[in-house]
Amino acid sequence: MKRRHLLASAAALAVFGAHVTAGAQTPDVHAQLPMGKPFKIIAPGAPGGILDLTSRLVAKTLGERIKQPVIVENHAGAGGTIGIQNMLRADPDGRTLVMGSLGPNAANYELQSKLPYAYQDLSAVIHVLSMPDVVVVNPKLPVKSVEELKKYAASQAQGLAMAVSTSGSSGHLAGALLNQRTGIKAVDVIYKGAAPALTDLVAGQVDYMVDNLITTLPLARGGKVRPIAVTTKERSPELPDVPTMVELGYPDFDVTVWLGLFVSSKTPKAVVTALNAELNKVLADPEVRKTIALQGGSAVGGSPEDFERFVLAEKSRWAEVIKRGNIKVD
């Protein structure tokens, strides 16, 4: 009996020792990052837009964490596809990421017949944030609601001019849905980012637009643009008096702005895992979360697999919307 007890104890110690040894040999996730050279986040939009602002916020905190420079480069144009292509041309070592979004990473597969990359060329790293789009008008227009925008558009023989920050963006698709559901006739005026589009909206060169809260909120607070609806099912805490499209009688109108980071699908899995781990820590940083919240969004995070499932669902959902609405991108 005593011998059996000693053998059992020895076996238990052996198992415990094996776990300790395995734990000690578990590779440091941080060590999987390709250190020694600067990292880069490509923002496929103009300076001042959501892609740019979010990229710079993440880059700053990530650089501080990994003790390496993380630079941001703006590559605007072609509905975000130029930025994606530039990321794919870089070495697939994990040092070059792109800040993806609805257009180039979900909708454009249906919108553009000759997209210069395939869905399989990219690997999802992390879901960065989510926020509403907002319908905003030039405050000089006699428009304070979606119903008044409909009536005003009907009174204009040439229709209205709708600014589009980026071809294929959530604002573009939400704007197309708005026009379809309400019967508003408008010409799309497409820009290379939110900043130039909003500049023209404030100046009265265009009549209205649908764009993300992060860029429209400062102008709305300053009275430079007038918000008349948000595109998500719930009202925005930053614009509590502005109704949702659902409240206004459009029950299927639910559009969310989302951003996330991608790398080339040729990037080693261990590097993607390490990037995800560091970026989850970035998104858990109280100051980062506070900044995103003040801009009207929510930090998300999660695993690469979580983000991959989300993007696939968005790709499928918007393919149906685009086909049903016959939405085209020239």
247 DSSP β-pair partners: none
**Which string of b and e fits 118-137 if b means at least 16 CB within 10 Å?**
eeeebbbbbbbbbbbbbbbb
**How does residue 317 score in pLDDT terms, banded at 50, 70 and 90?**
confident
Neighbours of 111 (CB within 10 A): 21
The yes-or-no verdict on residue 3 having pLDDT over 50 is no
pLDDT recorded at residue 10:
43
The yes-or-no verdict on residue 16 having pLDDT over 60 is no
Residue 56: CA count within 13 A, CB half-sphere = 11
The yes-or-no verdict on residue 330 having pLDDT over 70 is no
Mean pLDDT of 135-162: 96
Q: Which amino acid is at 141?
A: L
Mean pLDDT of 127-154: 96
How does strand 208-212 pair with strand 256-264? unpaired
- Of the candidates 106, 110, 101, the one whose C-alpha atom is nearest the C-alpha of residue 193 is 101
Structure token pair of residue 283: 């998104």
More confident residue, 160 or 256: 160
- 285-293 LR contacts (CB < 8 Å, sep 24+): 285/61, 287/61, 288/57, 288/58, 288/61, 291/57, 292/54, 292/57, 292/129
Which range scores top for mean pLDDT: 241-245, 252-256, 313-317?
A: 241-245
Q: Report phi then psi at 25, rounded to 5.
A: -90, -5
The yes-or-no verdict on residue 187 having pLDDT over 90 is yes
The angle that helices 269-284 and 286-294 make with each other, rounded to 10 degrees, is: 70
DSSP 244: B
Neighbours of 193 (CB within 10 A): 24
Please answer whether residues 196 and 164 qualify as being in contact, where contact means their C-beta atoms are separated by less than 8 angstroms. no
Structure token pair of residue 12: 């238990």
The yes-or-no verdict on residue 11 having pLDDT over 60 is no
Q: What percent of the chain has pLDDT over 70?
A: 89
pLDDT recorded at residue 215:
86
pLDDT in tens, 34-57: 888 899 999 998 888 889 999 999
